[in-house]
Amino acid sequence: MREIIFDTETTGFDPRSGDRLVEIGCVELVDRRETGVTFHAYFNPERDMPAAAEAVHGLSIQFLSDKPLFATRVDELIEFLGDAPLVAHNAAFDFGFVNAELARAGRPALDMTRMCCTVQMARKLHPGAKHSLDALCTRYGIDRSHRVKHGALLDAELLAHLYIEMTGGRQIGLGLAASSASITVATAPASAASRGPDRPFREPRPHMAPAAELARHAEFVAGLNQPLWLDTV
């Protein structure tokens, strides 16, 4: 199955108030494995860059001023995404910005049924814990030492590693389920009839305490001073 892990960088938090998409990074997975195929683009937002946003991702308006408009590369992006499920961290945010840009370019919005949110996944897997990308990378042992600032492609690559771990790890797609029957047969204890001459029969060992130990335990319990369990009797 083909899936796309993606992330965006923007000028702010709300496309309805005029904030724009300035970067998108996409990573292709097939059967929960990275294929090495990516899509990455910067966009000229046609507006200023608030200092708070620049502090997060480091993208200045000077850097973005000669980058293409979203509409210039929209068809490339749509072709890359195809009809694959789309995975993002706090996905409603990313979907909101991409759909706002698609609307400006006169293209249909992304179907929200394609959305998979790793924040929602993390809340179910780890209730009460921190669910930021940094916190989850630490939890799953994913190296993020090279992440100085946010970057759409870098964050998408980290999220791809995280998503793989959150959905079963690297064992996904290795065919373990198909071979489970043979594993069961191979590891099952040999029956008495199948034992070879080098495997002498041994009587099962008893697993109950002997009478003497049971008597000592009863004597010990009887000597306890106001045991807590008697408070409920």
Residues with active-site annotation: 150
Q: Residue 109's closest CA among 122, 100, 120, 118?
A: 100
Cβ contact 22:4 at 8 Å: no
**What three-state secondary structure class fits 22?**
strand
State the Cα–Cα distance between residues 23 and 13, nearest whole angstrom.
Answer: 14
What's the DSSP call for residue 67?
Answer: S
Cβ-Cβ contacts under 8 Å for 220 (sequence gap 6 or more): none
Cβ contact 53:32 at 8 Å: no
Cβ-Cβ contacts under 8 Å for 141 (sequence gap 6 or more): none
Say what angle helices 152-166 and 118-125 make with each other, to 10 degrees.
40
